[in-house]
Amino acid sequence: MDLLTPESLGILFAVGLLAGFVDSIAGGGGLLTIPALLAAGLSPAEALATGKLQSSFGSLSATIKFVRRGEVHPASMRTMILCTFIGAGAGATLVQMLDPSFLRDVIPILLIGIAIYLLLSPKAGDVDAHQRIGEHAFALSIGTGIGFYDGFFGPGTGTFFAIAFVSLLGYNLRKATAHTKVLNLTSNVASLLFFIAGGHVLWTVGLLMGVAQYIGAQAGAHMVIRNGARVVRPMLVVASIVITAKLVWSDEHNILRELFTAATAWIA
């Protein structure tokens, strides 16, 4: 795909629109945008950096929507925001020095666990449940940890945040999604700052897709506010499964892919 033709820019705008909608509900928008950017001719580094720029628009859009509707109050999340920012900055710095491929075996297994949890847990709904840890402990462990993961690797960050809010702080899915967007915005911005310093961002493409992400995320956030767990739960399950499949089948050395291939060969 020739990057700056009207046709390719139109396709990237459409991809950004859809990604913003999906990501504001359940996460996983990067599964659409990163392959599209690579297909458009960007290098992997440019795709990741430009992807952070446009996804920041989507998370900002959803955050604004949730804040205006009173679903989340960022001022009460200062510790979480700070820890997430530090973690994401550290991850974005380290990824420029290390190979993140070792995570490809671990993340799909975690995502499968998320899907199973959502399918079997009766508490992951519209009603708040029992809180298992304090908010400061959550900020230090989950905020820093998932923030670092987003800066270092990325796929499924929003899904991980949402499940952490549900399972550890006892939030209902709508509340968890709203709070997730604040931390997702934080990690996106922190990572983006370090990628800008590396000079890999393509601003024209990133800003174009960012506008599309903003529009799509507004629609997605509106759907979450109206429908709550009825739409978030199935979207999170689907996002977990799709992200898992993408990570497994894009890496021929992934342990789950090797096990599946071996089992198929044995059955045949």
Of the listed ranges 9-13, 37-41, 63-67, 249-253, the one predicted with least confidence: 249-253
User: What integer is the mean pLDDT of 159-187?
Assistant: 91
Dihedral angle over CA of 235, 136, 82, 229, nearest 10: 10
Residue 203 has pLDDT above 90, yes or no: yes
6-26 and 203-227 helices cross at what angle (nearest 10)?
40
Residue 100 has pLDDT above 80, yes or no: no
Residue 68 has pLDDT above 70, yes or no: yes
Structure tokens at 105: 């075996």
Residue 72 DSSP label:
-
- How many Å apart are CA 191 and CA 147, to the nearest integer? 9
Q: Which residue has the tokens 């899915």?
A: 173
> pLDDT value at position 148?
94
Confidence of residue 127 (pLDDT cuts 50, 70, 90): low
pTM: 0.79
> pLDDT value at position 228?
64
